[in-house]
């Protein structure tokens, strides 16, 4: 048996929710290890659509343990709203199937406010944040002034921690001309929500260690995508956490040897939400067609996603930085009916051919894609569940992608339905 890490190999929105749900049937525990409520996962199960942000996808499967790790920043109000929402859809949520790391950082109302104020003031320099307070919360974590989950259980020491937090934030708010935060009011809000959050609190690392020793299968669920990683992504147009596979260890409290198989998720084309470079972005009717056929709107924000051809350079780079063992290629059906397809195989930068995505912001904005043109297919791949169901040219497209990204395709998804998945390699099997 193998423990599996699932990460996005592009800019997020690759279809991780469906793949994690598909894999969770084989897992005992599903763990979120980074990000926050800015990450949306959509699951379609028996015709019912579930939209999750903070909760691990395994929460909708009976008998699975869902764990929110210490690497996640948690908005307790958003979390409770999400629990209430899926409970209304018939999903039972209790301590029996949900645990939250006691040392996870909390997102507070002041973080959401600061996020919005900064983005509004940035003008052309805006990053495209979701405005959910993710970045400011991570800043406080690194600045050693954050309020964490276990602080809710210690009301006698919480006022001192709030005072330290506000020494920073109120000075900042004063400079921005924004009303200062009342520490007593914030304390009251936290004490009001504490009884609703604390029943889920646990030592996540100890729980996962026990699961590992008991021979349980653990699925680590990444959010967003590798090219949004704070170190390895298109900085500064990135998220505020590490999204690569190694973060699964740090963000959940397990050793790196626990991470035995890394599955990268990539669409058969490319999308991005928000600002930042996007070498293969299409501004014509082809890009519009990809967006319409792929229903490319953000789960959390509702924003239309930017669309473009498959970028093999980016995906290959993501595979290297995360040590990906296999790729789950999603939304192949969106490419049905195209006379020809294009794949980016390299870039042109200032007159030179390069085969990696540069780290510099200026260079990232200047790269131009070098395309290879591949014949398309007219037959339908939607709902295919075996290689024999696929047009020959679609099979050739997938095989060529494998060559370009230097990694095998382990799973192939042909619709939002979990059953419409072609399995070449089960990540949970050695």
Residue 349, sorted as left (phi over 0), alpha (psi -120 to 50) or beta, turns out to be: beta
| CA 197 – CA 40 distance, rounded (Å) | 21
- The Cα–Cα gap between 234 and 128 comes to 12
In sequence order, the 6+-apart residues with CB closer than 8 A to the CB of 98 are 55, 59, 65, 66, 67, 68, 83, 200
Rounded to an integer, what is the distance from CA 29 to the centroid of its chain? 18
Contact 408, 398 (CB under 8 A): no
> CA nearest 65: which of 24, 100, 30, 34?
30
Does the annotation count 13 as an active-site position? yes
Interhelix angle 109-122/183-197, nearest 10 degrees = 120
Name every residue whose Cβ is closer than 8 Å to that of residue 50 and which is 6 or more positions away in sequence. 42, 43, 44, 60, 86, 89, 91
Query: Among candidates 241, 262, 239, 260, which has minimal Cα distance to 250?
Result: 241
Is-catalytic flag, 339?
A: no
Distance, CA of 208 to CA of 216 (rounded, Å): 9
Cα–Cα distance measured from residue 427 to residue 430, given in angstroms and rounded to the nearest whole number: 7
SS (H, E, C) 240-277: CCCCCCCHHHHCCCCCHHHCCEEEEEEECCEEECCCCC
Catalytic residue among 21, 28, 41, 182: 41
| Rg of the Cα atoms in the chain | 22
Q: 210 Cβ partners below 8 Å, 6+ apart? A: none
**Hey, which residues are catalytic here?**
13, 41
């Amino acid at each position: 048996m193998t423990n599996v890490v699932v990460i996005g190999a592009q800019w997020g929105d690759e279809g991780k929710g469906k793949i994690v749900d598909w894999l969770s049937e084989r897992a005992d525990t599903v763990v979120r290890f980074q990000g926050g409520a800015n990450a949306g996962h959509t699951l379609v199960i028996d015709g019912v659509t579930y939209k999750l942000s903070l909760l691990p996808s395994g929460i909708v499967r009976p008998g699975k343990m869902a764990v929110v790790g210490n690497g996640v920043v948690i908005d307790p109000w958003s979390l409770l709203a999400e629990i209430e929402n899926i409970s209304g859809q018939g999903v039972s949520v209790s301590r029996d199937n949900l645990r939250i790391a006691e040392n996870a950082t909390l997102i507070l109302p002041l973080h959401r406010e600061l996020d919005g104020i900064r983005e509004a003031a940035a003008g052309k320099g805006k990053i495209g944040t979701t405005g959910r307070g993710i970045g400011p919360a991570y800043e406080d974590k690194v600045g050693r002034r954050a309020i964490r989950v276990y602080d809710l259980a210690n009301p006698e020491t919480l006022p001192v921690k709030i005072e330290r937090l506000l020494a920073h934030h109120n000075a900042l708010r004063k400079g921005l001309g924004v009303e200062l935060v009342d520490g007593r009011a914030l304390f009251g809000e936290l004490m009001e929500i504490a009884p609703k959050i604390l029943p889920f609190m646990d030592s996540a690392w100890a729980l996962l260690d026990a699961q590992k020793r008991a021979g349980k299968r653990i699925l680590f669920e990444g959010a967003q995508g590798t090219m949004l990683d704070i170190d390895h992504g298109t900085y500064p147009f990135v998220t505020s956490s590490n999204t690569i596979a190694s973060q699964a260890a740090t963000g959940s409290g397990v050793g790196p040897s626990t991470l035995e198989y890394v599955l990268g998720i990539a669409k058969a084309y490319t999308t991005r939400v928000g600002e930042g470079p996007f070498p293969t972005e299409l501004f014509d009717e082809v890009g519009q067609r990809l967006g319409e056929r792929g229903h490319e709107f953000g789960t959390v924000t509702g924003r239309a996603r930017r669309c473009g051809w498959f970028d093999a350079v980016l995906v290959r780079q993501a595979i290297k930085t995360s040590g990906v063992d296999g790729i789950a290629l999603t939304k192949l059906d969106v490419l049905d009916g195209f006379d020809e397809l294009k794949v980016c195989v390299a870039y042109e930068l200032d007159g030179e051919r390069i085969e990696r995505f540069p780290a510099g912001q200026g260079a990232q904005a200047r790269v131009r894609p070098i395309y290879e043109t591949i014949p398309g297919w007219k037959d339908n791949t939607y709902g295919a569940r075996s290689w024999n169901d696929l047009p020959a040219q679609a099979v050739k497209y997938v095989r060529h992608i494998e060559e370009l990204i230097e990694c095998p395709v382990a799973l192939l998804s042909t619709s939002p339905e979990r059953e419409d998945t072609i399995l070449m390699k089960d990540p949970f099997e050695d």
